[in-house]
Structure 1
Amino acid sequence: MKIAIIGTRGIPNYHGGFEQFAEYFSVYLADKGHEVFTYNSMKHPYQEKTYKGVHIIHCNDPEDKIGTPGQFIYDLNCILDARKRKFDIILQLGYTSSSIWGKLLPKNALIITNMDGLEWKRSKYSKPVRQFLKFAEKLAIKSSDYLISDSKGIQSYLMNKYGARSKYIAYGANIFNTPNEKVLQQYNVEKHKYNLLIARFEPENNLETILDGAAISNKKEVFLVVGKHNVNKFGTYLKQKYLNSENIRFIGGIYNLEHLNNLRYFSNLYFHGHSVGGTNPSLLEAMACNTLIIAHDNQFNKAILKTNAFYFNTAGQVKEFLEEINKGQHKDKTLNCRSDIEKFFNWPLINKQYLDFFNECRK
């Protein structure tokens, strides 16, 4: 097949979850003998025309000059280019800035869209933006031939809201097998004597609830907060609020995967506060790193973690977990999480499920 992947900033991954998936899946497809093209922003650090057998198409992306509207122009440029190339399948990852151009998608290709999470629920967006995102969601469903949901919660939502069928295929992760305790020295922590939170600084990730619990806990173990806290008002607010909580350390974003995985692996408790839709990549990565997870109590997290985690809704519950639980007491949960990654969320399996679905769609 001749296959295109649009909707990301490009490969290899320098940005996030969809880019990581696009990298893994496109290389997998190329290895299987398919002709694969991924669309990259012209601002992407990788400027070659191929990557491990995958063709790279660089398109103009003015986001750095004009901000968010540039994302819409970039997606338009990708779609206009795709019209010229006679693809069999176009895999569209997300819809936020591309669905308004849905009528321009080539008619001779099957359009398969991964619907991502419930973007319109994100509180960082203003009411008009959230209304637009609901509209964009509807447009994406109309302009797609087939839909993919990366969580069963999203799959149910699409059926209940729109009567739209979608194929459930989760995200993936790689088991972490190379722990290196020396990494901890760079962060001034000791194994199993610190707790960890990795998240974007957005209210729906429940950082404030988690950190309120850490602040009032009588057990003052180091609490590391990983994420870019200096890019929005919410991050500035949180850092100021916990200024006098000496155990809470805001250490910024970490982009060294080895360091992230070792911090996860050697943590005592790992907190996951995400509450807005989809299979969150960072949750699967934590499961693959032998973490004991304390997750926000919602259907998306429970669908993945089942009984292999503890769940919170309030700061008081966070406080209790910090004071009463340690990782060594719950090896069954950490081992079960790791086992689930190996059985259900490993990248070779996820890649095969996508390719099998493509073949089904072409019948």
Structure 2
Amino acid sequence: MANENRHRIAILGCVGVPARYGGFETLADNLARFHADTNRPEALSIYCSRPAYPDQPEVFGKAKLRYSRFRANGASSVVYDAATLRDAIRCGTDVALMLGVSGAVALPVLARQGTRIITHVDGLEWRRGKWSRPARAFLRWSEGLAVRHSDAVIADSSAIADHLRHDYGVEAEVIAYGGDHASAAPQPPSAAPPDLPEGYALALCRIEPENNVDMILAAFTDAAKPLVFVGNWGDNAYGRALKARFRNVPHLQLLDSIYAPGPLFALRQGASAYIHGHSAGGTNPALVEMMHIGHPIFAFDCVFNRLATQDAARYFTDTASLVAALSTPMTAEQGTALQRIAQRDYTWAKVGAQYFDLFDRLAAR
């Protein structure tokens, strides 16, 4: 491509790269890898939270890393997102991708100086039970600002796009997540955590009410089935209470969050099935990652999970229905069907091409 097409692209709104936290970080990480692996011509920058990266590397792949002193999560995310967006505009960015709506309060007042802004609205954050009523009201207001004041909006699920069309009259770009990185064996290989129960099912998520953690733990307790559940148990009162309640159930193993690729890969590969309790949000990254592994999946019955798995999983709505579902395990062929869906629809090659096509279209306006 010609040099005049070397557009300046900035990604902001995540903790940073390399990914160590959640779905947005994994998205930024893999967009940077796609950019480098395909030798894209754009000048790519990614904003990172300095407290999370004390070593502060200057580049990741071919992307330049820029650091903010603010933390990227919690209430400070509003300042973090707004400050990094302001800096991206000052640096002459052609297209800024905002991951999440926290910084949308700045959109009506910032002088953009030609910068095009894309907002990834994430899931319906204002529906999440972990937020207080004032926080949910703020997030709903921020969602409206983001949709009305962005040059383009991304939804990771057609159900989210339907909501944006119905509530705001806006047509969103629907781009899901890739998950094929989860099926790539790290080198050198690593072992899974020791003493895992034989034939265990795996659950892996942030320990929050809308992920139905209590429902899953109660079902496996009642069914007397082995479960390994990985999450940030100590980060909130909900998680601490559940860990205290279920920690002595013999066939349950509650592990703290695991981010290292080697042990995480071994843990996923060794599972007999995956249990997905998320009820809010769109196409969940953890779900499409596990679809690539090829295990049977039991998912909470909501429109987002049915769309992501294309009705090929087994679904539950409460403790009793999960116990009933576990009594007749899914077959290996059902896991293979989910894997085929993932290999067709949820790869970083496909997702990366969609993002950079959108960047180029906006930059060329």
> TM-score scaled by structure 2?
0.90
2:282 match: 278
1:229 match: 233
The answer as to 2:80 corresponding to 1:99 is no
2:4 match: none
The answer as to 2:18 corresponding to 1:12 is yes
The answer as to 2:155 corresponding to 1:154 is no
Once residues 62 and 105 of structure 1 are traced to their aligned partners in structure 2, the CA distance between those partners, rounded to angstroms, is 24
Please say if residues 153 and 277 of structure 1, whose CA atoms lie closer than 8 Å, have aligned partners that are also in contact.
Answer: no
The answer as to 2:217 corresponding to 1:211 is yes
Once residues 47 and 246 of structure 2 are traced to their aligned partners in structure 1, the CA distance between those partners, rounded to angstroms, is 42
The answer as to 2:67 corresponding to 1:58 is yes
* Cα separation, partners in 2 of 1:184 and 1:84, compared to 1, 3 Å: closer
Question: 5+ residue gaps in structure 1?
Answer: none
2:351 match: 350
1:124 match: 130
RMSD: 2.1
* Cα separation, partners in 2 of 1:272 and 1:68, compared to 1, 3 Å: closer
Once residues 185 and 128 of structure 1 are traced to their aligned partners in structure 2, the CA distance between those partners, rounded to angstroms, is 40
Instruction: Give the secondary-structure state (helix, strand or coil) at the position aligned to 1:349.
Output: helix
Please say if residues 233 and 243 of structure 2, whose CA atoms lie closer than 8 Å, have aligned partners that are also in contact.
Answer: yes
Please say if residues 10 and 40 of structure 1, whose CA atoms lie closer than 8 Å, have aligned partners that are also in contact.
Answer: yes
Equivalent runs, 1:123-202 vs 2, <5 Å: 123-174=129-180, 176=183, 178=185, 183-184=191-192, 186-190=194-198, 193-202=199-208
1:332 match: 333
Please say if residues 268 and 290 of structure 2, whose CA atoms lie closer than 8 Å, have aligned partners that are also in contact.
Answer: yes
Residue deviations 1:85-140 (CA, integer Å, cap 9, x gap):
222111111112x0111121624011111110000011111111111111111111
Which of 290, 293, 306 is matched with 1:289 structurally? 293
Please say if residues 60 and 77 of structure 1, whose CA atoms lie closer than 8 Å, have aligned partners that are also in contact.
Answer: no
* Cα separation, partners in 2 of 1:357 and 1:80, compared to 1, 3 Å: closer
2:92 match: 86
> Post-superposition shift, 1:182?
8.0
Deviates more, 1:220-229 or 1:121-130: 220-229
Instruction: Give the secondary-structure state (helix, strand or coil) at the position aligned to 1:80.
Output: helix
Instruction: Give the secondary-structure state (helix, strand or coil) at the position aligned to 2:249.
Output: coil
* Cα separation, partners in 2 of 1:32 and 1:349, compared to 1, 3 Å: same
Please say if residues 26 and 54 of structure 1, whose CA atoms lie closer than 8 Å, have aligned partners that are also in contact.
Answer: yes
* Cα separation, partners in 2 of 1:243 and 1:14, compared to 1, 3 Å: closer
Deviates more, 1:67-76 or 1:287-296: 67-76
How many corresponding residue pairs?
A: 352
Please say if residues 51 and 70 of structure 2, whose CA atoms lie closer than 8 Å, have aligned partners that are also in contact.
Answer: yes
Once residues 59 and 235 of structure 1 are traced to their aligned partners in structure 2, the CA distance between those partners, rounded to angstroms, is 30
1:256 match: 260
Once residues 149 and 195 of structure 2 are traced to their aligned partners in structure 1, the CA distance between those partners, rounded to angstroms, is 48
Instruction: Give the secondary-structure state (helix, strand or coil) at the position aligned to 2:119.
Output: strand
> Post-superposition shift, 1:187?
3.6
Please say if residues 228 and 252 of structure 1, whose CA atoms lie closer than 8 Å, have aligned partners that are also in contact.
Answer: yes
> Post-superposition shift, 1:163?
0.8
Residue deviations 1:159-191 (CA, integer Å, cap 9, x gap):
01111110101011116154999835624333x
Paired residue type of 1:198: L
Paired residue type of 1:253: S
Which of 14, 31, 34 is matched with 2:42 structurally? 34
Deviates more, 1:22-31 or 1:49-58: 22-31
Paired residue type of 1:333: Q
Instruction: Give the secondary-structure state (helix, strand or coil) at the position aligned to 2:210.
Output: helix
Paired residue type of 2:348: W
Please say if residues 227 and 253 of structure 1, whose CA atoms lie closer than 8 Å, have aligned partners that are also in contact.
Answer: yes
Paired residue type of 1:74: Y
> Post-superposition shift, 1:81?
1.3
* Cα separation, partners in 2 of 1:90 and 1:178, compared to 1, 3 Å: closer
Once residues 340 and 232 of structure 1 are traced to their aligned partners in structure 2, the CA distance between those partners, rounded to angstroms, is 35
* Cα separation, partners in 2 of 1:93 and 1:221, compared to 1, 3 Å: same
* Cα separation, partners in 2 of 1:32 and 1:127, compared to 1, 3 Å: same
The answer as to 2:325 corresponding to 1:321 is yes
Please say if residues 82 and 106 of structure 1, whose CA atoms lie closer than 8 Å, have aligned partners that are also in contact.
Answer: no
Once residues 75 and 247 of structure 1 are traced to their aligned partners in structure 2, the CA distance between those partners, rounded to angstroms, is 43
Once residues 209 and 111 of structure 2 are traced to their aligned partners in structure 1, the CA distance between those partners, rounded to angstroms, is 35
Aligned residues: percent identity?
30
1:308 match: 312
* Cα separation, partners in 2 of 1:243 and 1:20, compared to 1, 3 Å: closer
Once residues 222 and 318 of structure 1 are traced to their aligned partners in structure 2, the CA distance between those partners, rounded to angstroms, is 14
Deviates more, 1:311-320 or 1:81-90: 81-90
Deviates more, 1:165-174 or 1:6-15: 6-15
2:269 match: 265
Deviates more, 1:288-297 or 1:72-81: 72-81
Question: 5+ residue gaps in structure 2?
Answer: 1-6
Instruction: Give the secondary-structure state (helix, strand or coil) at the position aligned to 2:254.
Output: strand
